[in-house]
Amino acid sequence: MSGDVEQLLRRALAPVEPPEDLSTRMRSTLQSISDMAAEELEGWELAAMRDPRNWARPAIAVVAGGAAGAGLLVLGRHRRHRSRGLRAVAQRTAATVGNAARKIAARR
């Protein structure tokens, strides 16, 4: 029974390879968001910031630019550490869960 559970978990947790161009598309999208946010902030004058009604657009630009920048950092980190692969992580996870399932089944 525990072997069946482990095989089911291995199939359920099998890694799915993303499309080849996904990373490139994400990087270009995040870069364009970051560039648009920077352009939006460049257009604002400091004198206009005295009125709180004018804070929404720059605040959104800061948040969007920051999120896009963080996304670019994550993509860069993932690309550098891709050699470890998701397959190894999925296999370790499946083995750990399978071992725990065997222990639970043995107690019963």
pLDDT tens, residue by residue, 44-74 = 777 777 888 888 888 888 899 889 888 887 7
Rounded to whole angstroms, the Cα distance separating 91 from 7 reads 11
Structure tokens of 60? 């959104």
Q: For residue 61, give its domain range.
A: 2-16+30-107
Instruction: Decide if 37 is inside a domain.
Output: yes
pLDDT tens, residue by residue, 1-11 = 566 888 888 88
Instruction: Decide if 24 is inside a domain.
Output: no
Q: Is the pTM of this model over 0.85?
A: no
When the pLDDT of each residue in the chain is averaged and rounded to a whole number, the result is 78
Structure tokens of 14? 């099998």
Q: Is residue 99 scored above 80 in pLDDT?
A: no
Mean pLDDT of all residues in 17-34:
87
Q: Output 11 or 80, whichever has higher pLDDT.
A: 11
Q: Which helix (H) or strand (E) holds 106?
A: helix 86-107
Contacts (Cβ under 8 Å, ≥6 apart) of 58: 40, 41, 44, 49
Amino acid at 92: R
Number of domains comprising the chain: 1
Instruction: Decide if 77 is inside a domain.
Output: yes
Q: Which helix (H) or strand (E) holds 42?
A: helix 22-42
Instruction: Decide if 39 is inside a domain.
Output: yes
Instruction: Decide if 34 is inside a domain.
Output: yes
Count Cβ atoms within 10 A of the Cβ of residue 91 and give its class: 0-12 exposed, 13-18 middle, 19 or more buried.
Answer: middle
How confident is the model at residue 46, as a pLDDT?
73
